[in-house]
Amino acid sequence: MANVFVVEDNDGLRETIASYLGLDEHTVSCFARLAGVEDAVRMQQPDLMILDVMLPDGDGFAFARRLRRHSRVPIVFLTARTSESDRITGFEVGGDDYVVKPFSNKELMLRVRALLRRTAHAADDNPALAGAWVIDADGGHELELDIDRHQVRHDGAAVTVTAAEWKILGYLTDNAGIVVSRERLLGVCLDYLADGSERTIDTHIKNIRIKLGKVPWVETVRGFGYRFIGRTRDA
């Protein structure tokens, strides 16, 4: 099964989560603080990370932002911070899901399964993207989605995207020129209606735009959703 990192300073909670993950036959590595986690990610390349936000030696949001510079590991934030602004921050720094304490262990496991499923089957869920595609925009810019390598390149430069961003970008490019509603993106790309609802999609789109620079690949159609405006051709 999957290799999962659990970063949580509460000993009892950390052990409980590890036990539930073990029931799904996952390999679990536990950490009580942030020290050593980044190096472990580089060495072990985990399939998913459950990350507390308030840790003894640092802030989980800041750590995730730093980690995103070199890793696409899916991140589930686990925190007592419940405000909408905190949830939005979690997605803005690269989180793929956000679970508020106290929580149901069964629900957490379902969210882990859903996130692992959409990460593992991203290529299968976008059958039209059978290889590397290049999307042309005005001005000669190019965006390449390489399904075989699970990589995104913009004008030749590698772009690090999260699992959710990869799925959303793939679906939009697969439906280039068509307006796709936020509700559709939630259902198809996130597998479930996340707590953040449509604001979650807006945050992911914002992050995608930042990563793709000033080229307006994704257009907002007010009152309806989003449209990818590039022209697609086989690479």
Q: Quote the mean pLDDT of the chain.
A: 86
Query: Does residue 74 share a domain with residue 59?
Result: yes
Query: Does residue 215 share a domain with residue 200?
Result: yes
- 149 secondary structure, DSSP code: T
Q: Which pLDDT value is given to residue 164? A: 85
Which of these three, 93, 120, 147, is where a domain ends?
120
Nearest to 168 by CA among 226, 88, 84, 94: 226
Query: Does residue 115 share a domain with residue 48?
Result: yes
Query: Does residue 135 share a domain with residue 91?
Result: no
pTM for the structure as a whole = 0.67
Q: Which residues contact 176 (CB under 8 A, 6 or more apart)?
A: 135, 228, 229, 230, 231, 232
CATH of the domain at 24: 3.40.50.2300
Q: How do residues 11-34 score in pLDDT, each as one tens digit?
A: 999 999 999 999 999 999 999 999
Q: How do residues 83-118 score in pLDDT, each as one tens digit?
A: 988 999 999 898 999 999 999 999 999 999 988 887
Q: How do residues 124-146 score in pLDDT, each as one tens digit?
A: 544 444 445 666 666 678 888 88
Q: Region 185-212: what's the mean pLDDT?
A: 79
Compute the 3-state secondary structure of the chain and give helix, strand, coil in percent, each to the nearest 5.
40, 25, 35
% of the chain beyond a pLDDT of 70: 87
Q: How do residues 154-174 score in pLDDT, each as one tens digit?
A: 888 889 888 888 889 988 988
- 102 secondary structure, DSSP code: S
Q: Which pLDDT value is given to residue 28? A: 97
Q: Which pLDDT value is given to residue 128? A: 44
Q: Which domain holds residue 190?
A: 122-234
Q: How do residues 47-57 score in pLDDT, each as one tens digit?
A: 999 999 999 99
